[in-house]
Amino acid sequence: QKEVEQNSGPLSVPEGAIASLNCTYSDRGSQSFFWYRQYSGKSPELIMSIYSNGDKEDGRFTAQLNKASQYVSLLIRDSQPSDSATYLCAVANDKIIFGKGTRLHILP
Amino acid sequence: DVKVTQSSRYLVKRTGEKVFLECVQDMDHENMFWYRQDPGLGLRLIYFSYDVKMKEKGDIPEGYSVSREKKERFSLILESASTNQTSMYLCASSLATGRQVDYGYTFGSGTRLTVV
């Protein structure tokens, strides 16, 4: 069974520090990788997508992909209290599979 | 921006009722999806559709059906609501076509359904 694994957290990070969120996946044929942010009581919002090995930066967010290790990560620089949310990793081959998410708490 | 609109934010229904959850997207997307999200279980795919009149079962289709009479509208139907269907229901659409997975999903705001 294809799986996407994330540490459920909570991950507590001081304001202004770098938050590092990790995800592993089981399907070596996966082609597309996504990070979603979900605030409590709200729906998931796509914040990053990455398709090839390496880093992809967008503002304070950097997605990292290592297909050989089947590992995806999301770095959030200069963490803000508004970054406190659950972050869902999603991995796609013929369909998108979501991880259960990591709760991130930014400490003011 | 793509907008995915779910008709109700909160809904309370009685056991045995037939329940309709409506979802409309305004960007001419072909692919649409219905998920439910429960604490500890994450997002689980109920049904999806790659085109009008087309539907495919997801991972947990039992007790549900769907309708897609128009491209922009994808409805989830609970044939006879039960308490174990109390959940957050999320509709999503994607720019991808068919089994293409290059694009992520845009989610609606969700419907929190309580079956009593």
- The alpha-carbon gap from A61 to the nearest alpha carbon of chain B, in Å, equals 17
The predicted-structure confidence for B30-73, as pLDDT tens digits, reads as follows 999 999 999 999 999 999 999 998 899 999 999 999 999 999 99
How would residue B102 be classed by pLDDT, with cut points 50, 70 and 90? confident
* Structure token digits, residue A55: 């880093």
* Structure token digits, residue A16: 């202004």
* Residue, of B7 and A57, whose pLDDT is higher: A57
Per the CB < 8 A criterion, the answer to whether B87 and B36 are in contact is yes
- The alpha-carbon gap from A74 to the nearest alpha carbon of chain B, in Å, equals 16
A10 chain-B contacts, CB cut-off 8 A: none
- Residue A91: its pLDDT value, please? 95
Cα–Cα dist A70/A65, whole Å: 8
- Residue B2: its pLDDT value, please? 61
Taking residues B8-13, what's their average pLDDT?
A: 96
How would residue B109 be classed by pLDDT, with cut points 50, 70 and 90? very high
- The alpha-carbon gap from A26 to the nearest alpha carbon of chain B, in Å, equals 17
B45 chain-A contacts, CB cut-off 8 A: 95
- Residue A64 has phi, psi (to 5 degrees) of -125, 135
Query: Over chain B, what is the mean pLDDT?
Result: 93
Cis peptide, bond prior to residue A10, ω within 30 of zero = yes
